[in-house]
């Protein structure tokens, strides 16, 4: 009887072991999330870095280990799990525009995009005079723009959107779009962002017309964005640790959640250069201010 009890406990613990798959251990944001996760997750786990692994080796590993639960960090890891073990429970984070990926039945995750309602509320609190924002998107980010439009209407902001495709990217009239709005917002659209010259052109035209640009990543601050609102990666890791722990303990969780932590960088230098009015309460809102 005692041996049987020990065997049951061992099987239970083995079933709760989770495999963490890092798409690329050279990417800081992935490592930050995983480090925070492991510090806050108090159950067995194994980390697999697939950045330099061959396809057949990843396949053999997943088939051999066949983990009950997988936490994938980044899109590459998600795609391998979908291809080889989609019947397992999958948790994900750090995936840009996750809705574009094939659905896994037992899928849970944290969106890499900040909730548009929160994003627009922050923008409105910093720039209360702005009433129209332009956005360029494609078929891959229609859902993001739909959410932007819905939440912007509640704040008295009009979203002026322009849909593009691969074929129309080079001929898009950026001047017309920018002149018809008070600001622009960059979203994680793979087609628009695939052409660096087009992105740089948008920043140049916006600067000439003294129109601010809001972005989803701090990288665009270097281009001249006036504001970046992004997820906080360590918070993502802690949030995921809580989600998986609650799931293991059979507590109710929401399948897909928005990140609970954000990092707001305000480029005061650009704001002053463009002559854009902003709130005096900026120090209470921004995580970082660039003078």
Band the pLDDT of 267: cuts 50, 70, 90.
very high
pLDDT average, residue stretch 239-248? 96
pLDDT for res 261:
82
User: What number is the average pLDDT over the span 59-66?
Assistant: 95
- Domain 2-112 class in CATH: alpha beta
Task: Produce one character per residue of 244-255: b if its CB has 16 or more CB atoms within 10 Å, e if not.
Answer: beebbeeeeeee
Q: What residues contact 273, with CB distance under 8 A and at least 6 apart?
A: none
**Hey, what are 100's tokens?**
């574009």
Q: How many Cβ atoms from other residues are within 10 Å of residue 281's Cβ?
A: 10
Residue 5 has pLDDT above 80, yes or no: no
The stretch 109-128 carries a mean pLDDT of: 92
**Is-contact 49 63, C-beta < 8 A?**
no
Mean pLDDT of the chain: 91
The neighbouring-strand residues paired with 45 are 18
Pairwise CA distance, residues 191 & 83, whole Å = 24
Q: Looking at the predicted structure, is the pLDDT value of residue 8 above 50?
A: no
Mean pLDDT across 143-164: 94
The span from the CA of 169 to the CA of 155, in Å, is 30
Q: Which of 7, 17, 38 is nearest to 241 (CA)?
A: 38
Closest CA to 65 of 43, 41, 39, 47: 47
Provide the token pair at 150: 């819905």
* pLDDT at res. 281: 85
- Could you report the per-residue pLDDT of 92-107, keeping only the tens digit for each? 999 988 888 889 999 9
For residue 212, count CB atoms less than 10 angstroms from its CB and return exposed for 0-12, middle for 13-18, buried for 19 or more: buried
What pLDDT does residue 16 have?
A: 54
Domain range list for the chain:
2-112, 116-230+263-290
Task: State the maximum Cα–Cα separation within the chain, in Å, rounded to a whole number.
Answer: 80
Give the start-end residues of each E strand in the chain.
18-22, 45-49, 69-73, 89-93, 107-110, 132-137, 158-163, 183-185, 213-215, 227-231, 256-257, 262-267, 288-290
The answer to whether 2-112 and 116-230+263-290 have equal CATH topology is yes
User: pTM for the complete prediction?
Assistant: 0.79
Q: Which contacts (CB < 8 Å, 24+ apart) does range 189-194 have?
A: 189/136, 189/137, 189/138, 189/140, 189/141, 189/144, 190/97, 190/138, 190/140, 191/138, 191/140, 191/164, 191/165, 191/166, 192/136, 192/137, 192/138, 192/164, 194/169
Specify the CATH class of 116-230+263-290 in words: alpha beta
Label each residue of 156-173 as H, E or C: CCEEEEEECCCCCHHHCC
Residue 7: pLDDT above 70?
no
């Amino acid at each position: 009887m005692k041996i049987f009890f020990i065997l049951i406990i061992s099987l239970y613990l083995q079933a709760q072991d989770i495999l963490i798959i890092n798409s690329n251990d050279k990417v800081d944001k992935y490592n930050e999330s995983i480090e925070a996760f492991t510090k806050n997750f108090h159950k067995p786990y194994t980390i697999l870095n697939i950045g330099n692994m061959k396809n057949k080796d990843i396949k053999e590993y997943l088939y051999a280990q066949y983990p009950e639960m997988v936490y994938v960090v980044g899109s590459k890891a998600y795609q391998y799990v979908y291809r080889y073990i989609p019947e397992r429970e999958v948790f994900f984070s750090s995936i840009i525009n996750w809705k574009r990926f094939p659905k896994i039945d037992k899928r849970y995750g944290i969106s890499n995009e900040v909730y548009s309602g929160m994003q627009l509320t922050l923008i409105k609190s910093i720039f209360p005079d702005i009433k129209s924002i332009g956005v360029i998107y494609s078929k891959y980010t229609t859902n993001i723009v739909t959410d932007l439009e819905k939440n912007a209407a509640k704040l008295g902001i009009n979203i002026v959107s322009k849909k593009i495709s691969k074929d129309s990217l080079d001929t898009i009239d950026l001047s017309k779009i920018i002149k018809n709005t008070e600001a622009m917002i960059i979203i994680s659209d793979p087609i628009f962002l695939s052409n660096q010259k087009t992105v740089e052109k948008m920043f140049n035209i916006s600067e000439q017309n003294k129109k601010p640009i809001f972005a989803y990543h701090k990288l665009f601050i270097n281009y001249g964005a006036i504001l970046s609102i992004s997820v906080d990666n360590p918070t993502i890791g802690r949030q995921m640790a809580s989600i998986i722990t609650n799931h293991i303990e059979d507590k109710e969780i929401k399948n897909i959640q928005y990140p609970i932590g954000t990092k707001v960088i305000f480029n005061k230098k650009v704001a002053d250069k463009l002559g854009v009015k902003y709130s005096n309460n900026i120090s209470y809102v921004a995580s970082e201010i660039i003078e």
